[in-house]
Amino acid sequence: MNVSVRIDIKGIVQGVGFRPFVYHLAKKYGLLGHVCNNTSGVSIEIEGQKSKIDEFIEMIKTAPPPQAVIFEITSSDIEPVGYDDFVIRPSDDQKEKFVPISPEIATCNHCLAELFDPFDRRYRYPFINCTNCGPRFSIVKDIPYDRKFTTMAPFKMCRECKKEYDDPDNRRFHAQPNACPVCGPGLTLLNDKLRKIDVPDAISEVCTLLKDGNVIAIKGLGGYHLACDALNPDAVFKLRSRKYREYKPFAIMVKDIEAAKRLCYVNEKEEKVLTGSIRPIVLLRKRPGCSVAEDVAPHQKYHGVMLPYTPLHHLIVEESGLVLVMTSGNMSSEPIVYHDEQAFGRLKNIADFYCIHNREIHIRTDDSVIRVWRGKEVVLRRARGIAPFPLVLNLRFQENILACGAELKNAFCLGKENFAFLSHHIGDLENLETLTSFEEGIEHLQRIFNISPTLVAYDLHPDYLATKYALSLEDIPKIGVQHHHAHIVSCMVENKIEGEVIGVSFDGTGYGTDGTVWGGEFLICDYRGFKRAGHLEYTPLPGGEKAIKEPWRMAASFLYKIYHDKMIDLDIDFVKKLDREKWPTIQKMIDKGINSPLTSSAGRLFDAVSALVGIRDEIYYEGQAAIELEMAADSEEGVYPFELKDVGDKILVLVEPLFREIVSDLERGVGVESISSRFHNTIANIILSVCLKLKKTSELARVALSGGVFQNNLLLEKTYVLLDKYGFKIYTHRKVPPNDGGIALGQAAVANERILRGYTF
């Protein structure tokens, strides 16, 4: 029986070879009709035997092109047209719709084979790509995804490239960034005076310079990297001192998976993530005797490792044979540099040479960071290769929502229908550079996804730049969302669960509804609202922001609260080394409540213990004291005492007994390794005990864990094991970062729910 069917496909189906795939499939089954891109995806009209059409649809569902992601396929019978062929038709524009755009895709094996084939016309061409690989999001200026709307527009394809581009049988059919040495972008090498270095072969010169210990700024896919030989301690030290980034770990790039395995332990799943098409930085445990210079990741048990993902990277690591430091080209807290002029300014005193190219980067994207936990990925930084891939949700946005996110590790979110476009990592919104990147990012994503916000969600902290930005938008309704509530809802939305849960939201800082600094919170919440059911006891944060940078202040604050004036007599190194000039001033600040806001922050509790045991008094990047405390832990199983106290309808977690025991351990000379491990066990036990109490009163047995503290793998694992043992169903983050980079998703869902329930402004 012959039938006519229209098939509509939504998803990432443009720029990934979908139409030629459909074309060949139709030919194979002897079906007639056409396929075209439109502004909501791909549509097909097809005629032929019903059984063949069913098989055809089944093949689209089960074996689409490798980089395509199908969200939805719908089909309906239509009037027969009487086609006599199957063709690919030009795009069919419908203005109001939107199409997800593919993220960047690592160089595919076909292109790699050509890259290293001396007889191929693209032999050693650093910009080789095809329908299955290459730049995408970073070069898109506007929609639809078409060469003229990308930064490839200035390059006119040569005859051979155009032939490939027009041929449905070619791997480069409609590959928008298609290029070759004749017609495409090229490399230029500059010295630190920005003078062009004339060499016959820029790539081999770059390799030589790297081997000689130079720092080279390399323009990549989403921005500039700073590269040097990771096995050369002098080169690494030079880069570190020039970058004023005294401790923050640098990522490294290795040639292939074998090279990764020589330096670090790599399990099966980690190998899959490392070699997949995203090519993120994967956190891998260092092997003993790992030959990478100590300064690459000081005080860490892990290296952030990635494999090459552009042809240029492949050529450099292959031909130099080096393990490279590949760290974001920026000054410590600023976003990654992506324009040439900006690079020449910002990296002036860091780079010895610049390896640049003339394909413009339109939107900057850092490298994504992933860790594998319990056999699955946890995205810690959502950026290149992942963003702007949307999350397909169970909920439906009533309005087009813009959620502005928080301050540190900012990412914003655009919500439309059942899609959440959680943005690429923007950075810490603490300076003009990052704020500009935030504003430009919002404007860009609105344009390419055709979303004009009709509702804005923001964090309650009045001083956050993201909040100020939200409040400055005119003529648009706004909803403020509490920080820790947003964290938990983000975790719930990601896990597609609704109703009420126990939310454990542990992080550094979030504005509380009572004006204090929250951060060790137990919530009973759903999408709409929350009840603060428990929290860590309040302790003064002497000096506010300054106490975050100097964890010793927090340690002193806890000790002072517990021992008062007797604190100074404690026989421990921390007290002996305490700055006797600064301390009386700080003591006075605490006594009089001057610039000493109260905090229930879990992050600050980790800081305090880190400083107390002598690991870190002062930090150079967010979370450093806690990270180094985690790294110090051994496998000691003891637990410190703590106390839960009911105050009104809240459970207060008192940590005085914990501190008294740590102090006595220190007095007895117990090692930092054991203290750290016991401390982690204790926090996991605190979480379990509070959850058990809440389970009794609320009958809830589902726990969502969110907040930056849960990037701590040791704590996450211990907490998971305990909660699981007591029968809780545990929800954690996977695709959305547990840190503040995931908060915008929660904000969007909360605002949406309030609208649904008739929120009045």
Which listed range, 25-33, 181-189, 304-312, 620-628, lies at the site for Zn ion (CB under 5 A)? 181-189
Task: Identify which of residues 157 and 266 has a Cβ nearer to Zn ion in the complex.
Answer: 157
Smallest gap from Cβ 304 to Zn ion, in A, equals 26
Residue with tokens 């930092």, as numbered in its chain: 672
- Beta carbons of 539 and 561 less than 8 angstroms apart: yes
Closest CA to 712 of 747, 748, 738, 673: 738
Smallest gap from Cβ 157 to Zn ion, in A, equals 6
Which listed range, 101-109, 300-308, 611-619, 715-723, lies at the site for Zn ion (CB under 5 A)? 101-109
63 scored as a contact of Zn ion (CB under 5 A): no
Which listed range, 107-115, 591-599, 628-636, 743-751, lies at the site for Zn ion (CB under 5 A)? 107-115
Q: Taken in order 27, 28, 30, 33, is the CA torsion positive or negative?
A: negative
SS3 of 6, please?
strand
113 scored as a contact of Zn ion (CB under 5 A): no
Which listed range, 106-114, 523-531, 688-696, 713-721, lies at the site for Zn ion (CB under 5 A)? 106-114
Query: 28: which 2 tokens?
Result: 């194979």
Task: Identify which of residues 65 and 529 has a Cβ nearer to Zn ion in the complex.
Answer: 65
Taking the C-alpha atoms of residue 412 and residue 97, their distance in angstroms, rounded to an integer, is 21
Taking the C-alpha atoms of residue 640 and residue 661, their distance in angstroms, rounded to an integer, is 7
111 scored as a contact of Zn ion (CB under 5 A): yes
**Distance from chain centroid for Cα 627:** 18
DSSP labels for 222-291? SSEEEEEETT-HHHHHHHHHHHT-SSSPPEEE-SSHHHHHHHB---HHHHHHHHSSS--EEEEEBPTT--
Task: Identify which of residues 182 and 199 has a Cβ nearer to Zn ion in the complex.
Answer: 182
SS3 of 617, please?
coil
Which residues 124-143 are close enough to bind Zn ion by CB under 5 A? 130, 132-133
Task: Identify which of residues 180 and 266 has a Cβ nearer to Zn ion in the complex.
Answer: 180
Closest CA to 325 of 305, 354, 350: 305
108 scored as a contact of Zn ion (CB under 5 A): yes
**What are residue 345's phi and psi, to 5 degrees?**
-75, -55
Taking the C-alpha atoms of residue 321 and residue 324, their distance in angstroms, rounded to an integer, is 9
Smallest gap from Cβ 285 to Zn ion, in A, equals 32
Smallest gap from Cβ 367 to Zn ion, in A, equals 20
112 scored as a contact of Zn ion (CB under 5 A): no
Smallest gap from Cβ 15 to Zn ion, in A, equals 12
Strand-pairing partners, residue 422, are 413
Smallest gap from Cβ 141 to Zn ion, in A, equals 21
Smallest gap from Cβ 115 to Zn ion, in A, equals 9
Taking the C-alpha atoms of residue 559 and residue 553, their distance in angstroms, rounded to an integer, is 10
Provide the angle, in degrees to the nearest 10, between the axes of the packed helices 602-612 and 624-632. Answer: 60
Taking the C-alpha atoms of residue 92 and residue 43, their distance in angstroms, rounded to an integer, is 9
Task: Identify which of residues 11 and 185 has a Cβ nearer to Zn ion in the complex.
Answer: 185
Contacts with Zn ion by CB under 5 A: the residue count is 10
Count of all residues that appear for the chain in the document: 761
Residue of 81, 182, 594, 721 that binds Zn ion (CB under 5 A): 182
Task: Identify which of residues 384 and 487 has a Cβ nearer to Zn ion in the complex.
Answer: 384
- Beta carbons of 697 and 644 less than 8 angstroms apart: no
183 scored as a contact of Zn ion (CB under 5 A): yes
Residues 6+ apart with CB under 8 A from 735: 377, 379, 382, 391, 494
Smallest gap from Cβ 278 to Zn ion, in A, equals 15
Task: Identify which of residues 182 and 594 has a Cβ nearer to Zn ion in the complex.
Answer: 182
Task: Identify which of residues 162 and 248 has a Cβ nearer to Zn ion in the complex.
Answer: 162
Smallest gap from Cβ 282 to Zn ion, in A, equals 22
Task: Identify which of residues 108 and 343 has a Cβ nearer to Zn ion in the complex.
Answer: 108
180 scored as a contact of Zn ion (CB under 5 A): yes
Smallest gap from Cβ 725 to Zn ion, in A, equals 48
Which residues 147-166 are close enough to bind Zn ion by CB under 5 A? 158, 161
Which residues 188-217 are close enough to bind Zn ion by CB under 5 A? none
Task: Identify which of residues 164 and 295 has a Cβ nearer to Zn ion in the complex.
Answer: 164
String of b and e for 32-63 (b: at least 16 CB within 10 Å)? bbbbbbbbbbbbbbbbbeeebbeebbeebeee
Task: Identify which of residues 130 and 386 has a Cβ nearer to Zn ion in the complex.
Answer: 130
Smallest gap from Cβ 24 to Zn ion, in A, equals 18
Task: Identify which of residues 159 and 668 has a Cβ nearer to Zn ion in the complex.
Answer: 159
235 scored as a contact of Zn ion (CB under 5 A): no
Smallest gap from Cβ 358 to Zn ion, in A, equals 15
Taking the C-alpha atoms of residue 46 and residue 80, their distance in angstroms, rounded to an integer, is 9
Which listed range, 105-113, 274-282, 527-535, 615-623, lies at the site for Zn ion (CB under 5 A)? 105-113
Q: What is the largest CA-CA distance in the chain?
A: 95
Residues found near Zn ion in the complex (CB under 5 A): 108, 111, 130, 132-133, 158, 161, 180, 182-183
